Homo-oligomer: A and B are copies of this chain.
Amino acid sequence: MARWEPNARGRLEEAALDLFGERGFEQTTVAAIAERAGLTERTFFRHFSDKREVLFGSEPMSSAIAESVAAAPESASPFEVTAATIADLAEALEGRRERALRRRAVIAANPELQERELVKLAHMAAGLAAALRERGVPDLAAALAAETGLAVFRVAFEQWVNGPDTPGLPALIRSGIDELRNITAE
């Protein structure tokens, strides 16, 4: 008797972040997450391969990056494409600051998760560089645009979560892009 489980993924994320915060990441089991969410372990594993994936499930972000790059006008320069892509990521995250803050607290408490976060960011940069190369951007420009774009994203993201009074992630990204253009201008 399959039940209809509205927003199961969101409820599982919410329950997991609660428990990671209360007990610590290591001490939290999938069974406990499912129970807190009022769902079964089976449902959990339909959405996540393990509890780490609740924090790092990066498929949506990778495809978002590929889509943004593909959607940029042909005339856009590699750095403009990059700026537009991280602006799109920012729009998708805006409104989820509370969740981002809680996720970050869990990660900050655990060195292994911090390493995993760096790996995720490196994969995002690699994915962005690959998408730029597919547009015909040469290797060096693609790598530099992607790496520096992700650098702007990371810096803006830190400002955003450290808040409390920030103009919002998309605005911070725009300021970061402007500031980068500014400091690299000769």
Q: How far is the CA of A183 from the CA of B148 in the complex (A)?
A: 10
Q: Which of A29-37, A43-51, A84-92, A111-119 is near enough to bind chain B? A: A111-119
B115 & A176 in contact (Cβ 8 Å cutoff): no
Binary interface profile of A, 149-186, with partner B (CB < 8 Å = 1, else 0)?
Answer: 01110110011000000000000000110011101111
Chain B proximity of A112: nearest CB distance (Å): 8
8 A Cβ contacts from A68-84 to B: 77-79
| Shortest CB distance A115–B (Å) | 4
Contact of A118 among B118, B147, B176, B185 (CB under 8 A): B118
A184 to B78, CA, bound (A): 9
What is the interface of chain A, defined by CB distance below 8 A to chain B?
Answer: 77-79, 114-116, 118-119, 122, 140-141, 143-145, 147-148, 150-152, 154-155, 158-159, 175-176, 179-181, 183-186
B residues less than 8 Å from A186 (CB atoms): 181
- Residue pairs across A and B with Cβ atoms less than 8 A apart, 18 shown, are A77-B183, A115-B119, A140-B159, A140-B176, A140-B179, A141-B179, A141-B183, A144-B155, A144-B179, A144-B183, A145-B183, A147-B148, A148-B148, A148-B151, A150-B151, A151-B151, A181-B185, A184-B185
Q: In the assembled complex, which residues on chain B have CB atoms less than 8 Å from the CB atom of A150?
A: 151
Shortest Cβ gap from A7 to chain B (Å): 33
Instruction: Write the nearest CB–CB distance from A5 to chain B, whole angstroms.
Output: 34
Residue of chain B at shortest CB distance from A114: B119
> In whole angstroms, how far apart are the Cα atoms of A151 and B152 in the complex?
11
**Contact between chains at B176 and A144 (CB < 8 Å):** yes
Complex CA gap A150/B141 in Å reads: 15
Residues of B within 8 A of A122 (CB): 118
A79, A140, A141, A154 — most chain B CB neighbours (10 Å): A140
Name A180's closest neighbour in chain B (CB-CB). Answer: B144
